[in-house]
Amino acid sequence: MQIIVTGGAGFIGSRLVSALEAFDSGHRVVVVDDFSSGDFRNLRHFKGDIISRPCEELDWDQHFGRQEIVSIYHLASITDTTVSNQREMVERNVESFRRILRFSQSRGFPVVYASSAATYGQADGLMKVEQQAAPANVYGFSKMILDNLGEEARELGMRVSGVRYFNVYGPHEAHKGKMASMVFQLYRQMKAGQRPRVFETGQHLRDFVYVDDVVAGTMLAATSEAGIYNIGSGKARSFNDIIAILNECLGTDLEPEYIPNPYIAFYQNHTEADISRSKKKLGYEPQYGLKKGIRAYVDWLSSNDAA
Ligand SMILES: NC(=O)c1ccc[n+]([C@@H]2O[C@H](COP(=O)([O-])OP(=O)(O)OC[C@H]3O[C@@H](n4cnc5c(N)ncnc54)[C@H](O)[C@@H]3O)[C@@H](O)[C@H]2O)c1
């Protein structure tokens, strides 16, 4: 019996792989990842097999047709939200998912795929799954199409769930460079003794969620009623809050350096996941507030060479 994780060499995917292996269900975990953005170091303790092919090119029937599959977690995606090549973004992200849906159709196992808060676009405030999608970039657009395909699959009776992640931070994200979380970027600056740089006035609010909560929500989605679920902390916090907590953790007293925001016209003031549905239907309960999450992360960073 196999559990398939696409994007398993990436940030969230590799934490999911570790959690699945630690859960010790007796199932074998197989990763599908083309290493377009992932890093083998995230899987240093992995015990399973890897198929290093793009999901949209893999012959799923040939590889997995004779295997018994427990579930597929589909996290593979172009994750650089600044990529502006619309064809590449849509083709890779959407065709990957279409292949997985075709393979899964009539096989009965659950498929959980990573969607994103980017589907909500410029909306400000509390974001509810029921509200109209309005992606502001092609990355968010590609995720909206995944949600549409997921909806169609559910109408055909398939067990397909989308998990809309908010601003995820935590171990195994160093390979993401400029796309790594603000917690990681600010940590790096402050650890080097530099003043942390944020857009003025540092008071914009985001839903920062620790990766282990995201992994827990993702695993719950595989065993719960199929649907779309917000996976965030459920609480918006500011960039200034991150800096204050990092100062505490690092024993520093570095003042933020506020820089002008070139995106001010369309920069969101406040994003926050409404997680009431995820709590009710998945039993999702985030375990990490911002302080606890940053503390756990700083501890991890101090004892790992990834930073
Ligand atoms: N990190 C966040 O804050 C966040 C927020 C919202 C949604 N997400 C979604 O969560 C998922 C995981 O993101 P992440 O932060 O771990 O990013 P990541 O870039 O670390 O991981 C993505 C992984 O997918 C692989 N990959 C990309 N395209 C592929 C393809 N076509 N075929 C096979 N492998 C492919 C990459 O090599 C990489 O290992 C993505 O779907 C992303 O869109 C992440």
Rounded to an integer, what distance in angstroms lies between the CA atom of residue 271 and that of residue 193?
30
Please say if 139 is a catalytic residue: yes
Token reading at 195: 């003043």
Give residue 77 CA to ligand 1 midpoint distance, Å: 4
Nearest atom of ligand 1 to the alpha carbon of 37: 37
What is the structure's pLDDT at 307? 45
Is 178 one of the catalytic residues?
A: no
The SS3 call for residue 73 is: strand
Please state the domain extents for the chain.
Answer: 2-168+208-234+275-282, 173-206+236-270+289-302
Of 11, 81, 147, which is best to mutate to test ligand 1, by the most ligand atoms within 8 angstroms of its C-beta? 11
Kindly state the tokens that stand for 65: 């047709």
The C-alpha atoms of residue 178 and residue 161 are separated, in whole angstroms, by 29
pTM exceeds 0.85 = yes
Which position has the token pair 């940590």? 187
Collapsing DSSP to helix, strand or coil, 176 comes out as helix
Contact 10, 33 (CB under 8 A): yes
Specify burial of residue 130 (Cβ count, 10 A radius: 0-12, 13-18, 19+): exposed
- What number is the average pLDDT over the span 61-72? 95
Residue 78: its pLDDT value, please? 97
Inform me whether the pLDDT recorded for 271 exceeds 80: yes
DSSP state of 137: S
Q: Where are the alpha helices (DSSP H) in the chain?
A: 11-23, 60-64, 86-104, 138-155, 182-191, 211-222, 239-250, 276-282, 290-302
Mean per-residue pLDDT for 121-139?
92
- Closest residue by Cα to residue 78 from 64, 53, 60, 96: 96
- The superfamily CATH assigns to domain 2-168+208-234+275-282 is NAD(P)-binding Rossmann-like Domain (3.40.50.720)
Instruction: Compute the average pLDDT of residues 97-112.
Output: 96
Q: Is the pLDDT of residue 306 over 60?
A: no
pLDDT digits (tens, 9 = 90+) for 258-268: 999 888 777 88
Give the residues surrounding ligand 1 with Cβ less than 6 Å away.
Answer: 6-7, 9-13, 32-38, 54-56, 75-79, 92, 96, 114, 116, 165, 167-168, 176
Contact 228, 150 (CB under 8 A): yes
Number of residues that make up the chain: 307
Phi, psi of 251 (to 5 degrees): 70, 35
Model confidence band, residue 305 (pLDDT cutoffs 50, 70, 90): low
Is domain 173-206+236-270+289-302 annotated with CATH 3.90.25.10? yes
Phi, psi of 109 (to 5 degrees): -80, 160
Q: pLDDT tens digit string along 196-255?
A: 999 999 999 999 999 999 999 999 999 999 999 999 999 999 999 999 999 999 999 999
